[in-house]
Amino acid sequence: MTSIRNVLYRTVAAVARRRLARVLVVVAVAAAGVLTVSAAANAASASTFNEIRNAGTNKCLDVTAEDGYYNVGARVQQYHCTGVQEQKWRAIQINSVDGYNPTWEVVSQRSGLCLGRGGSAFDGVQAIQMPCDGSRQVAWYIGNLQNGNYLLLNIYDGRNLDLSGGSSADHAKVQLWTYNLSSAQQWRMVLPVAF
């Protein structure tokens, strides 16, 4: 009697394992389809230039008109979103500087220049546009905060893109500042890959 129970138990267990394996395959295929669609939709929206908005103010990164939209060194500021090209950006993945973490350049639609920073390594250094040359001054790690917002960490010295004082004013300075996770350092943007 015991051997019949053992055989029956093993048979039922084997059938259950096969059914579970089939269910897991179906779930995996379905999940892959969802991820593919999600990644494709995100890639399609990121194949164009999009606004980068500060999470605290909902205002846009903007190249300062007074400095000349096409000039290297033109300051990047905050300004209310108007849909113009100097407020549209695209994150482009470049070769990783550390061989491990994805690295990005953030390109202005208006000028074709990259979001960058001057060579000084201190809190408060102005964000500017510069040639897209893969240097550490224009290379960024983009950290997903899992709340729809991102941190942009410049590789030059590890400081984050930051809205000075969290100001809500137009023309507010955009700078590099030590990580503090305030809303001044959180940005909404569209990326070409799912995080």
**CATH number for the domain including 102?**
2.80.10.50
What radius of gyration do the chain's Cα atoms show? 24
SS3 state of residue 22: helix
* Reported confidence tier of residue 193, pLDDT bands at 50, 70, 90: low
Is the pLDDT score of 43 beyond 90? no
Residues 40 and 103 occupy one common structural domain:
no
* Reported confidence tier of residue 54, pLDDT bands at 50, 70, 90: very high
Residue 27 is predicted with a pLDDT of 31
Residues 17 and 95 occupy one common structural domain:
no
Residue 172 is predicted with a pLDDT of 98
Cβ density class 108-124: b for 16+ within 10 Å, e for less: bbbbebbbbbeeeeeee
Q: Which domain holds residue 95?
A: 49-188
Rounded to whole angstroms, the Cα distance separating 36 from 126 reads: 39
If one counts the domains in the chain, the total is 2
Residue 41 is predicted with a pLDDT of 34
Q: Does residue 106 form part of some domain?
A: yes
Q: Tell me what percent of the residues of the chain surpass a pLDDT of 90.
A: 65
Residues 124 and 42 occupy one common structural domain:
no
Determine if the pTM surpasses 0.85: no
Residue 192 is predicted with a pLDDT of 63
Is the pLDDT score of 36 beyond 60? no
Q: Half-sphere exposure (CA, 13 Å, Cβ side) for 123? A: 8
Residues 81 and 6 occupy one common structural domain:
no
Q: Does residue 121 form part of some domain?
A: yes
